[in-house]
Chain A
Amino acid sequence: MTSQDDIVLSIEHVAVRFGGLLAIADMTFSVREGEIVGLIGPNGAGKTTAFNVFTGFLRATSGTVRYRSTILNGLKPHEISRLGLVRTFQRTSVFQDNTVFGNVMIGLHTRGRSSLWDTLLGTRRERESEQELMNAAQEILQFVGLEHRATTLAANLAYGEQRLLGLALALAAKPSMLLLDEPVSGMNAAETARFVTLVEKIRDAGTTILLVEHDMQMVMKVSDRVVVLNYGRIIAEGPPAQIQNDPEVIRAYLGQRKKRA
């Protein structure tokens, strides 16, 4: 039996309205500790809008978003990130003009422990803190498999590598829960498979994961549970096998081009 203490992210009756447009009608679901949950739905169902609401880039018109016991409504993105809820972006997901290493150093921002005075006076604490950050950056790059590209400019990376860097950035921010926005879009089969392994390793290390994806095979393979969003509402929730056979879900996707395997 799952208890309330298990719930990491809880979304209760969230609605989002832009002027006349109702982007999300009434969304309710939750993510438990250590789960990998996949959020799927036809285009325009409101998935990226949902992510923007969870991470403070958009205000919900009504409803509550809770991370553990903290209410997220009204908090700024950087405050939510510091609580441990970190997201990746679908596009413009990296700092183009910095090197791969430089990117991760930026991501490690919240882990620094020196103050402004340390910086200006060049104290030992500053040097030690910088060294710690550089070590951590090295570790993260090794984890995602980008350490051989450390000195490359982010703009010069291959597309798949850029997505990996986006993940590295999010990991650097020390998340206890990750929100992945279409992490494998544009990746080939081999890259996707490697990514799935990474995601599982991250979950095994204790991070809860919620991801949005269009690649059905990938989602069904990696998720413990799948949540289906259509027209701003959750229409189905459950293990992948159950969702794949759910008539409502199939109906929602009818007319949509079948995603490439």
Chain B
Amino acid sequence: MRFIPWLLVAALASVPLWMTDYYYLHVLIVTGIFIIAAMSLNLLLGYTGQLSLGHVAFFGIGAYTSALISLGFKVHIAPDTVVGLSPKPVWFAMLCAVFVTGIVGYGIGKLSFRVRGAYFVIVSLSFVSVVQLIALNWVELTQGAMALNSIPPLTLGFGEYTISFLRKPQFFYLMLSAAVLSYIIIARLVNSRAGRAMIALRENESLATSLGIDVTRYLVLATVVSAAIAGLAGALYTHYIRIVDPNIFLFIYTVTMIIMVVTGGKGTLAGPIVGGVVFGVVPEVLRAMKIAPEMQWIVYGVLMIAIVYFLPQGIVPAVRRAFASHRSVFAGSSTLIEKAEEQ
């Protein structure tokens, strides 16, 4: 059982070798990037139990930061004072994006977790809206609605040993590496003492604090890691699509991530991946059936409600329950997935 995740990775690694239709490769890449973002949301929503509706803000901040640092920028912060940066290598820009988003996550975490429940949800929504409006109106920095374009692709290496991650097959491997790295970070975190603390906070906050668990510390930790990974996803997105505009902050993207996490199974490691695959595939099926975009969204909404009613825990736990009755076949070793469930 332990090797199943690695087999999956190997199988995925082989995809660019036989998938010749670049359109489907593109779909896989974009789905993969969203899955990374969904995994990061799962850390906050699934494991720590905080319904943050502002997650796409981290995605977008990561995207804009990486774009701006790789393109360079110049802004007037006062009538006579100019602050600027010359274009930097893309790998550096991406690292900065992760770092900056993590710091923003820290600040937001410290401020937002003074409130809980519905208030927290509303704060998270407001945060995204403010960020979107800044992206739209601070034209000098972000070009507003005119978008930042011609964003350079990632290149790594020296002299003749340079790889450019411009074309789809190369980018697919970049995305896959980032996804595996994110998965490992999250898996290690949730299976550790810190992860147990987050789960405890989700289940029973009073009991957790009475056992010495510092609520704020772990909520903020979850937010920082979650934000940083979302920022990574955003940076990937921006150097793939190579255009970024304020539409990246649309609520519909947060909804997509939430659907992926919730339908896949929040609080499980495999959940966002399963949910991501389902919601990467569904639009394609609908598109092939020539259904209007509005209908696609209506189907999403119906699916979301149906899953909340019929499979309230999500797909992965339901599947696992079905297999539990056939325990003997899979008895013995436990996978990363099961270990997290046990704790």
* Beta-carbon contact of A119 and B211 below 8 Å: no
Q: What is the chain B residue whose CB lies nearest that of A101?
A: B342
Set of chain A residues within 8 Å of B215, measured between Cβ atoms: 78
* Beta-carbon contact of A98 and B203 below 8 Å: yes
The stretch from A126-134, A203-211, A212-220 touching chain B is A126-134
The stretch from B186-194, B246-254, B289-297 touching chain A is B186-194
* Beta-carbon contact of B212 and A93 below 8 Å: no
Task: List B177-220 residues whose CB lies under 8 Å from chain A.
Answer: 185, 188-189, 192-194, 196-197, 199-200, 203-204, 206-215
- Interface range, B side: 20 to 34
* Beta-carbon contact of B212 and A82 below 8 Å: yes
Set of chain A residues within 8 Å of B150, measured between Cβ atoms: none
* Beta-carbon contact of A96 and B193 below 8 Å: no
Q: How far is the CB of A56 from chain B (nearest CB, A)?
A: 8
* Beta-carbon contact of A81 and B212 below 8 Å: yes
C-alpha spacing A55/B210, complex, angstroms: 8
Q: What is the chain B residue whose CB lies nearest that of A82?
A: B212
Q: How far is the CB of B291 from chain A (nearest CB, A)?
A: 39
B221 within 8 A of A: yes
The stretch from A24-32, A110-118, A185-193 touching chain B is A110-118
Set of chain B residues within 8 Å of A112, measured between Cβ atoms: 193
Set of chain B residues within 8 Å of A173, measured between Cβ atoms: 210-212
Set of chain A residues within 8 Å of B185, measured between Cβ atoms: 120
* Beta-carbon contact of A120 and B189 below 8 Å: yes
* Beta-carbon contact of B207 and A92 below 8 Å: yes
Q: Given A89-B207, A119-B194, A120-B185, is A109 in contact with B213 using a C-beta cutoff of 8 Å?
A: yes
Q: Mark A172-205, 1 if CB is under 8 A from B, else 0.
A: 1100000000000000000000000000000000
C-alpha spacing A179/B251, complex, angstroms: 47
* Beta-carbon contact of A110 and B212 below 8 Å: yes
C-alpha spacing A55/B206, complex, angstroms: 11
* Beta-carbon contact of A98 and B193 below 8 Å: no
A124 within 8 A of B: no
C-alpha spacing A76/B211, complex, angstroms: 12
A38 within 8 A of B: no
A231 within 8 A of B: no
Q: Mark A39-77, 1 if CB is under 8 A from B, else 0.
A: 000000000000000010100000000000000000011
A225 within 8 A of B: no
Set of chain B residues within 8 Å of A92, measured between Cβ atoms: 204, 206-207
* Beta-carbon contact of A95 and B207 below 8 Å: yes
C-alpha spacing A92/B203, complex, angstroms: 10
B137 within 8 A of A: no
Q: Given A78-B209, A81-B210, is A106 in contact with B188 using a C-beta cutoff of 8 Å?
A: no
Set of chain B residues within 8 Å of A102, measured between Cβ atoms: 196, 342-343
A122 within 8 A of B: yes
Set of chain A residues within 8 Å of B209, measured between Cβ atoms: 76-78, 81
Contacts across chains A and B counted by CB atoms under 8 Å: 96
A86's contact among B196, B208, B211, B213, by CB below 8 Å, is which?
Answer: B211
A139 within 8 A of B: no
A248 within 8 A of B: no
A240 within 8 A of B: no
C-alpha spacing A218/B210, complex, angstroms: 25
Q: Given A89-B206, A95-B207, A120-B185, is A106 in contact with B197 using a C-beta cutoff of 8 Å?
A: yes
* Beta-carbon contact of A78 and B188 below 8 Å: no
Q: How far is the CB of B143 from chain A (nearest CB, A)?
A: 36
Set of chain A residues within 8 Å of B196, measured between Cβ atoms: 102, 105-106, 109
C-alpha spacing A112/B209, complex, angstroms: 16
B200's contact among A76, A95, A129, by CB below 8 Å, is which?
Answer: A95
A97 within 8 A of B: yes
Q: How far is the CB of B333 from chain A (nearest CB, A)?
A: 15
Q: How far is the CB of B83 from chain A (nearest CB, A)?
A: 33
* Beta-carbon contact of A77 and B210 below 8 Å: yes
A114's contact among B189, B193, B200, B207, by CB below 8 Å, is which?
Answer: B193
A169 within 8 A of B: yes
A87 within 8 A of B: yes
Task: List B145-203 residues whose CB lies under 8 Å from chain A.
Answer: 185, 188-189, 192-194, 196-197, 199-200, 203
Name A's B-contacting residues (CB within 8 A): 55, 57, 76-78, 81-82, 86-87, 89, 92-99, 101-102, 105-107, 109-110, 112, 114, 116, 119-120, 122, 126, 129-130, 133, 169-170, 172-173
A sample of 19 cross-chain residue pairs with beta-carbon separation below 8 angstroms, ordered by A number, consists of A57-B210, A76-B209, A76-B214, A78-B215, A86-B210, A86-B211, A87-B210, A92-B204, A99-B343, A106-B199, A106-B343, A107-B211, A109-B197, A109-B213, A114-B193, A119-B189, A120-B188, A169-B207, A173-B210
Please give me the 5 A-B residue pairs with the lowest Cβ-Cβ distance, nearest first. A81-B212, A77-B209, A110-B212, A112-B193, A119-B192
